[in-house]
Structures are given as C-alpha cells and as structure tokens.
C-alpha cells in the first residue's frame, strides 16, 4: 500500500509518469478510480504487481477541475477516465473523448460523487440518439438495444455499416446504471457483501470473495482454511456455469440445436447442484466477511458422484462440439484481438488468455485456498479469435473440476467444521484492495471503511475493463459475426454499468 502523497498540482502532474513507470517495471494497470477525502479527491491507480494488487495515488485538491490524463501512456485508462468524469465531473485533461459512459447527465443535473456521503437527488439523464460518425454511400446505422431481440441485459451497440462490414461500433452502457457504488456508503461489511453479490449477479461468488478480501485485509484476519476451500468450490462451480453459458450462446448462434439443448441441460443441473450446496443457484449467502456461512450442504461422497457425472457429460458434449466443423467455422478467425493489443490494454480473463496473456489471479496472487491447491496447466491459445477464447473456457472448465475435487479432498482431511468464519470486528477502518478471478476475469474491490462502516467502495469487474475492447474486435468481421463476438467476450452489463 502506498501512502497517500501530499497535495499539490506539481505532484498531480507527475501522477501519470509515476503510474506509467511502475507499468514499465512490469506492473499491469488494472484500473483508475476516484475517492473523495478530507484533503481533496484521491485519484487511485490499481496495479497488479508481484504478490498482489497495489495502489498509486495522488490528490486532486478541491476546486481543481481535473487531472492530467493517463491515456497518453496507458491505453487501458480510457474508460476509467470517462467514468470518473461522469461520476465526479473531474476532467482528464488531454483525454481525446470524454463522452458520457455510465451516466449521461442532463445540463444542471448534479454529479453523484460516490464516497462523498452527501445526499443525492434522482439524476436527470440526457439520452439523445448519437449522431452518425461515418459518412459515405449506403452507410446506415443499426442500433442494437437497449431493449434487444432476445433475453439480454440492457445495453446499446450502435453499429454503422455499409452493408456487411462493421467499420464503426459504439457501445452505450449507461442504460442500466444503478448507482451501486454510492449504495455501499454507510453499510457494514456484512450488508456490503450482500450488495457485492448483486453488483454482477452471474459472478456473485467472485464479487463477494473480492469484497470480503478487502475487508479481511483491513481487519488483519486470515480466513480459516476450511472456509477458503468452501469458497474455492463455489467459485469454481460459478466459473463452469459461466463458461457453459458462453458456449450455449455460441451453439445457439451456430444453429447447433442439440448442443444448445444438452449444454443448457448440463447448466441447469449445475445450478441445481449449487442450490443443493447452499440454497442458492448463484452461490449467494455463502461468503461472509471472515469466512463462509456454512460448509457444503452435501456429503462429500454425493458431491464427488455429482461432480463426476457432470464432468463426464460436459466433457463428452464439448468434445463433440469441438469436432463439429459448422460450429468451428463460425468461431475461427472471428473477433480477433491481437496479442500486443491485449497486452497494452491489459485484457482480462478468457479474453486475455485467448490473446496470449497468462495472468490469472488464482495463480499469480492466490487468495481463498488457491495457494494450497494444484492448478492444471494448459497449452496457451494465443490466436486471439473467438475460437481461442472458447478453447480457453473449455480448458478452464476442466481445471475448475480439478480444483473442486482437490478442495473437497482437503476439506475431508482437515475435517471442516465450525467456526466457518473468524470475526472481523465491528470497528474496522482504513483502505484496502481485495480481488478474485471471476469467470469473466479479474475483479477487484477498492474499499475504505471508518469505524466499521463503508465509506467508499469501488467494484471493478472484468466486464467493465474488457468491454472497452469490444469495438476493436471487428477488424474483418461482418454483422452475422456479432452474436459470436459478444458471446465470446462473455460479459455481464450489470458489472459494467455499475
């Protein structure tokens, strides 16, 4: 943890260099956020370095309208600076496009300033249609969304096309902005965990683990080993469910009716298994600050049998799917993200790993009980297309089953049992970052607390980070590839819009 630096515009001017220097020395830029404090607004860059996520911060003094942009040095900062502009009105000076991202406010509407604790009125939005960006013969605009054709989360993709190619795509994510960050204010750690589960509902476990990790770091407690193992089991089941979901959507798009039906059946059985373990099909209520609420609700013998059966069924159908040419043809060469771009931007999760990146928080920055378990290693898939991302997900499903078995084995050895959680106390205070590897990729929570109450919580889902790359994934692709590219990103808009 870096100590907050003293105020002063000169120090603020050096901030982009300080962050970029650490990236130059091998850190990965994870995100940028703002946190109101007594001496001004803290600008906090989160960096992945050996052993954990660390911060580099500077103070924007009150009355100062902005800060120097990081985007000149760090491509990945683009969306973060737009978000800060939306939420706080602070301008990233030198940023090339500060169009609203999560909150397009009407003139005169006040900024929410999450973390300030101030009362807020309902905002007024200005959601005028975007003017066309391209001119040319026969170029027209297709607005996909916000109410989309099918059961989707609300988001708008504005495609401009001369007919087939997609030379321009703009993404508008603000439709379902719920003001989650401000909602955390004043909650205690237990309620905060429940809200973290709802920040990105399909990755409830990962979000709760990341949030609780920050609280546990503040409280200076270690989660008991059995609780860490239970977290692993639920988090890996969540990973399999999400990777199946992405594959199901690929199968549907490719007209693979039997694969679609069978994989949907496996996903349903998996969600039912999760409900048997904890009462919730999404693993909600499992993670509490300091540990878990209880052990696995199924005897180990039954759990092994259920896991074996699921893995056999899923593996067999995925093997067949990956030998079906009419499926592979739709993914091969589709939605290519080149490795150098993924590296510069810091692409996360299966998106990054399908473009030659290797970072995985479970291995690089172990949390829960991941440090005590053996991880299966797979051949890299650096091709960068939707097929590479599909292969990564299939490998990760195998790896997840492997981790679950080990975690259950180890739970049997150590005997589990109460207490499933250690007390984090009700006077926790300070600033910390917690993280987890969600199915979508790294999620982190920046948390500040004062006397047991949350003052500033910034969740950053992998969905937010990765969706910033979506518009560049169409170099050689046409309209009919859209569904595949979207499914191959495998993101949840709830985690993007905040």
Which residues here bind other proteins, judged by CB under 8 A?
103, 112, 120-123, 125, 127, 146-147, 149-154, 174-180, 182-183, 190-191, 194-195, 197-202, 204, 245, 256-259, 261-262, 264-265, 267-268, 271-272, 275-276, 279-282, 284-285, 293, 297, 317, 320, 324, 492-495, 497
The residue among 55 and 463 lying less far from other proteins, judged by its C-beta, is: 463
Give the shortest CB-105-to-other proteins separation in angstroms. Answer: 10
Nearest to other proteins of 284, 381 (CB atom): 284
User: How far is residue 346 from each of residues 55, 197, 354, 390, measured CA to CA in Å?
Assistant: 16, 25, 12, 19
CB closer to other proteins out of 261 and 377: 261
- Residue for token digits 């190619």? 165
Read off the tokens for 124.
Answer: 């007024």
Nearer to other proteins, 93 or 258 (CB): 258
Pairing relationship of beta strands 441-450 and 430-438 according to DSSP bridges: antiparallel
CB atoms inside a 10 Å sphere around CB 350? 29
Closest CA to 117 of 423, 448, 389, 399: 448
Nearer to other proteins, 320 or 341 (CB): 320
Rounded least distance, CB 122 to other proteins, Å: 6
Cβ 39 to other proteins shortest distance, Å: 25
Write the DSSP string, 454-482: EEEEEEE-HHHHHHTTGGGS-SS-BGGGH
| Of residues 144 and 345, the one with the C-beta less far from other proteins | 144
**Least distance to other proteins from the beta carbon of 103, Å?**
7
Contact 189, 454 (CB under 8 A): yes
9, 61 contact by CB (below 8 A): yes
Least Cβ distance, residue 467 to other proteins (angstroms): 13
d(CA 22, CA 433): 18
CB 21 → other proteins: shortest distance, Å?
Answer: 37
CA distance 266 to 338: 33
The minimum distance between CB 56 and other proteins, in angstroms, equals: 29
Minimal distance in Å, beta carbon 86 to other proteins?
A: 11
CB nearer other proteins, residue 168 or residue 264: 264
Nearest-approach distance from CB 124 to other proteins, in angstroms: 8
What Å distances lie between residue 190 and 103, 184, 221, 254, CA to CA? Answer: 28, 11, 15, 43
Residue 406 or 440 with smaller CB distance to other proteins: 440
Q: Sign of torsion, CA 243 249 253 254?
A: positive
Give how far Cα 180 sits from Cα of 116, 214, 458, Å: 14, 17, 9
Residues 6+ apart with CB under 8 A from 471: 168, 169, 170, 171
Closer residue to other proteins (CB): 88 or 175: 175
For 280, counting Cβ atoms within 10 Å of its Cβ (0-12 exposed, 13-18 middle, 19+ buried), the class is middle
């Amino acid at each position: 943890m870096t100590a907050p630096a003293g105020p002063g515009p000169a120090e603020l001017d050096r901030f982009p260099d300080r962050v970029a220097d650490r990236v130059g020395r091998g850190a990965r830029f994870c995100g940028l956020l703002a946190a109101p404090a007594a001496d001004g607004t803290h600008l906090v860059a989160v960096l992945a370095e050996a052993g954990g996520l660390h911060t580099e911060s500077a103070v924007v003094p009150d009355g100062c309208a902005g800060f120097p942009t990081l985007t000149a040095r760090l491509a990945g900062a683009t969306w973060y600076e737009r978000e800060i502009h939306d939420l706080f009105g602070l301008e990233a000076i030198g940023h090339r496009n500060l169009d609203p991202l999560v909150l397009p406010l009407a003139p005169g509407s006040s900024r929410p300033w999450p973390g300030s604790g101030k009362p807020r009125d309902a905002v007024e939005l200005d959601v005028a249609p975007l003017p066309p960006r391209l001119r040319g013969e026969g170029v027209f605009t297709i607005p996909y969304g916000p109410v989309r054709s099918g059961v989707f989360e609300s988001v708008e993709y504005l495609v401009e096309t001369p007919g087939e190619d997609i030379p321009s795509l703009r993404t508008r994510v603000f439709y379902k902005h719920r003001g989650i960050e401000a909602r955390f204010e004043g909650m205690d750690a237990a309620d905060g965990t429940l809200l973290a589960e709802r920040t990105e509902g399909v990755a409830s476990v990962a979000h709760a683990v990341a949030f609780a990790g920050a609280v546990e770091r503040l409280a200076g407690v270690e989660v008991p080993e059995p609780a860490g193992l239970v977290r692993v089991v639920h988090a890996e089941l969540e990973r399999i469910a999400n990777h199946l979901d992405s594959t199901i959507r690929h199968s549907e798009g490719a007209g693979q009716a039997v694969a679609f039906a069978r994989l949907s059946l496996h996903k349903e059985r998996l969600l039912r298994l999760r409900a048997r373990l904890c009462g919730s099909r999404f693993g909600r209520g499992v993670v509490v600050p300091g540990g878990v609420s209880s052990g696995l609700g199924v005897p180990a013998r039954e759990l092994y049998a259920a896991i074996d059966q699921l893995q056999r069924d899923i593996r067999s159908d995925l093997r067949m799917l990956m030998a079906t040419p009419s499926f592979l043809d739709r993914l091969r060469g589709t939605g290519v993200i080149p490795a150098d771009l993924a590296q510069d931007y810091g692409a996360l999760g299966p998106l990054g790993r399908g473009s030659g990146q290797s970072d995985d928080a479970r291995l690089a920055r172990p949390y829960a009980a991941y440090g005590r378990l053996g991880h299966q290693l797979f051949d890299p898939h650096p091709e960068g297309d939707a097929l590479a991302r599909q292969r990564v997900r299939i490998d990760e499903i195998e790896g997840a089953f492997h981790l679950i078995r080990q975690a259950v084995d180890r739970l049997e050895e150590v005997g589990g049992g109460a207490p499933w959680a250690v007390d984090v106390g009700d006077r926790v205070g300070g600033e910390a970052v917690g993280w987890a590897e969600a199915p979508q990729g790294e999620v982190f929570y920046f948390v500040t607390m004062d006397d047991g109450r949350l003052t500033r919580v910034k969740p950053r889902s992998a969905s937010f980070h990765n969706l910033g790359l979506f518009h560049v994934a169409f170099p050689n692709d046409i309209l009919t590839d859209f569904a595949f590219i979207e499914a191959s990103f495998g993101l949840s808009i709830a985690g993007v819009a905040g």
